[in-house]
Structure 1
Amino acid sequence: MNMKQTFSTGEVAKLCNVSIRTVQYYDKENIVKPSELSEGGRRIYSQDDLQNFRCVCLYKSLGFLLEEIKTVMQSQNPYELLAKTIVSQKEKIDEKVQLLIHEKERLLALYEQIEQTGKVEVESIEDMENLLVKKRTHRKTDIITYIFMGCYILILLIIFPIANFLSGIAPFIMYGIAAMILIGLIYYHAEVNAYVCTECRQKFTIGLWNDMVSLNGMKKGKYLKCPHCNHRGWFKDTYRD
């Protein structure tokens, strides 16, 4: 007849990759208690005890609090309670992730400001939040610009083939509409964007005509002349103050 395998405190600690003091502490806190004690008072853990201990280590690695683990292990319906605990832990993690994303956003905003201007211009949390609002708004305007530009290209693809089959004043009206839409897009782009000179680090804006005739290098930005130091180069667009 095979006897069930048992484990000492040290063996449980080794198999679960924890310290002996951790095994003793979990016993003291009634989280995982040994099935029996030897005549000398030494803890003797069964295979079920070892499995329970491994479950506790798993829950601990997932960020559960010991009180939560203890409640689950002592529950009459552990899986239902475990599911609720998992949902609660997920919500905590989601909150931490959002906080980390916001913290990263702040760090990137400061880094970009130093890269552009050579200094930090925010002096308080309120200044930082205002800066983030401006940057988010600028990202939205960029997306809107690209969407409208895509729509404009689609309109051109429709207008020009149709205009070729028309006679009289109709084609000129259609070309005029296309030109007005393009001017409107350029005007919007000029009104919502600013640029920072890579030489003097000063921010400046440009008008409709300058925006219309200047070269656009896509990711490189626009090829402009800084009104402050007269430096010419590629400037990436940024938010307006």
Structure 2
Amino acid sequence: MSTYTTGQIAKKANVSVRTIQYYDRKDLLNPATVSEGGRRLYTDHELQQLQLIQLLKSMGLSLTTIKDVLESPNANQVLDSLLVEQTRSLTDQIKASEKRLTLVEQARRSIGDLEMISPNTLTGIETMMESRKKLRTVHITMMTLGVIMDIIEISVIVLWAITGIWYPALIGLIIIIGMATYTVHYYYQRVRYVCPQCHTVFQPPMKSFFFSRHTAKTRKLTCPHCGYHGYCVEVGDWESN
């Protein structure tokens, strides 16, 4: 029968030496013998037990539960039930993955051969991927400016209500209008839109940008390339400063 040192059995089971030592301290995996020099030696039996422990751990069982199972009088029956349940769970996962794979294959067939995807499509996809970080920065900046404007507005209203002096409110209103104008200009200069039909990335005219209907991530615009009129996806302009 083969014997293994702590390092050897750890390598066999693809775990760390510290894991073996921890299991030993928890009385979960004891060595078969201890040499005269104090080396802890394991056999194939302990290797199989270690592999079983790792399997049960991967199934979500705690080490305490695993220890109780292994030490129970009907350990074999309990283990068999656990493995049957794990088999059922894995089978369900495989079926779910197969369904997702079928949907992906259907989606690929629906868009045709990869050679038919235009360079504009690839550019649009790449643009959206690369611009996420930039767009997040734009949104954070706009939120910050919005909070500042809210603070100014509340402050001048409170000051007006307390003192009855109106000109601070007028000054505050002028500041807010100036900041709002800057915010809109800042936003306009730092976002672009992707046409869902031809995937062209474009910047709409300021008038269309300002008055168009929009959601958090889209805006209803007319694509200058293909003439599509509808909701276009917002992306960050990575060339802006």
Provide TM-score, normalisation by structure 1: 0.45
Which gives a bigger RCO, structure 1 or 2 (Cα 8 Å, sep 6+)? 2
Provide TM-score, normalisation by structure 2: 0.45
